[in-house]
Structure formats: C-alpha cells, structure tokens
Amino acid sequence: MSRAAFRERLRQRELLVGTFIKTPGPHTTEIVAGAGFDFAIIDQEHGPFDRTATDLALLAARAGSLPALVRVPSSAHDAILAALDDGATGVLVPHVSCGETARSVAASTRYRGGRRGFSNTVRAGGYGAADIWPHVDASDAAVVALAAVETPDAIERVDAIAATEGLDGLFIGRGDLTVALGAASPDAPAVRAAAERIASAARANGKAVCAHVGGMNADEFCWLRSIGVSVFVLSSDQGLLRQAALRALEAFRAGAAR
C-alpha cells in the first residue's frame, strides 16, 4: 500500500488494525507485514529505538509494503523530521496537550505552509530520485500526523487540538489517562468519559479516532466502534509474542499431563 493510499483510508474512516513495534531490528516488522496487518507503529517513546534501529525497521516495513508510523518520543521538530526523512508513513506524537503544540506538530510534518526541513536525498525522497517539487507535493499529500491526547489538561483543550489543520487523527491515550486520573482500569467510568470526549472532538472536526487495545475483547471493540474509533492498535510485537508463548506453553503442559 502506498503512503498516500494509507492516509486516504485513514481519512475515510476505514477499519484499520495495526500494532506497536517495540523490539529494535527488522524481524518483527517483517513478521507483522507478512501477517497482513494494515500498519505498524515503531515505538520510540516506550521502546529502545535509536535512529539506526528505527531506520532498519522502516526499511523492513517498506520491503513488506507495510505502512509504518513512528511514535516519536516528543513533539520536538528534529524527532519528527528524522522519522519522516527515514521514510515513515507518518508520526504519532505523544502528550499533545494544547492547540499550540498541535499546530507545531502539523507544521513539522508539512513542507507547504509548514516548517519541515527539506531533503530529497534521504529514503523519503528516493535518495535523490524525486525532484524537489514532486517530492514536496507527494510528501504533503501522504504523510499522516496523529496527536495523542492522554492527560487531563489535554482533555480540557481537546477542541483546539482537534481543530488543528494538518492533523489527521487523535489517539486516545487510555493508559496515561488511567494513571493520571487515578482510575482502577482503562474501563473505569472516568477514563471512558475522557475517551468519549476525545472521540467527540475528533469526529466534530473530521479527524480519525485511534485507540490501543490489548486483545480482541468484543465488548470493548463494540464500545470503541460506537464512539467512532476506526484505527485500532492491537497490542505490540512483544505483547503478541508473550500471548502466543503463554498459549503454546499451556497447550504443551496440558498435552504432557495426559
């Protein structure tokens, strides 16, 4: 799938499922691509990714025709630029808590009307194969910008965040919200209310709604779909490995006990 096609599917609210990549190196990204996921998110915020490891994961994604975003560690312009130059389909920016930060994020992802530093000699520009203005136009049309809303102060300003031109969607940060609100779990009423507030603001501004899920829970899925979530991040490479390992071990022990 081309980067532009992925952004269009996201903007059209197609049901998309991806996973976080938290293990440096190309192999898990290759596996996720081969399994048929719609996208992956390379996790620099909570995974041990430096730029070299991120570059390899993005190369594996490109080899497998897998759209790959990068969850950058912050909204810093240089972090966003590095991910996009290395060929990321887009970025997921954590802890976007106000309209000003949201506008900065959007500007960092765009050439025209923004402040993305230009280079067409990187992977994103085909190492010089793309001419200047075709590269500018193709990149601006294809790059996805997602903002994570995951703190109480961000909830208070979510309308300004959602209204930001250039943002394609809002990610509901239920884990951080659970901790920040002192809730018992992501299913607690306070967290659900916050998630619904984020989703409502996103829908009102024509933005996609994204959320992380640990596994396939039918009730959780139906609720998230009912509030407008169309982009699901299913667990992570490490989470899926752990789940598969536990199932395999349980099956082996059950068989050995017969």
Catalytic residues: 46
248: Cβ–Cβ under 8 A, 6 or more apart, which residues?
A: none
Whose CA is closest to 217, among 205, 207, 225? 225
Q: How many helices and strands in the chain, by DSSP H and E?
A: 12, 8
231 burial class (0-12, 13-18, 19+ CB within 10 angstroms)? buried
Q: Which helix (H) or strand (E) holds 250?
A: helix 237-256
State the Cα–Cα distance between residues 221 and 216, nearest whole angstrom. Answer: 7
CB 235 within 8 A of CB 213: yes
14 token code pair: 């197609």
96: Cβ–Cβ under 8 A, 6 or more apart, which residues?
A: 75, 102, 105, 147, 148, 149, 154, 161
| Half-sphere exposure in the Cβ direction for 85 (13 Å, CA) | 17
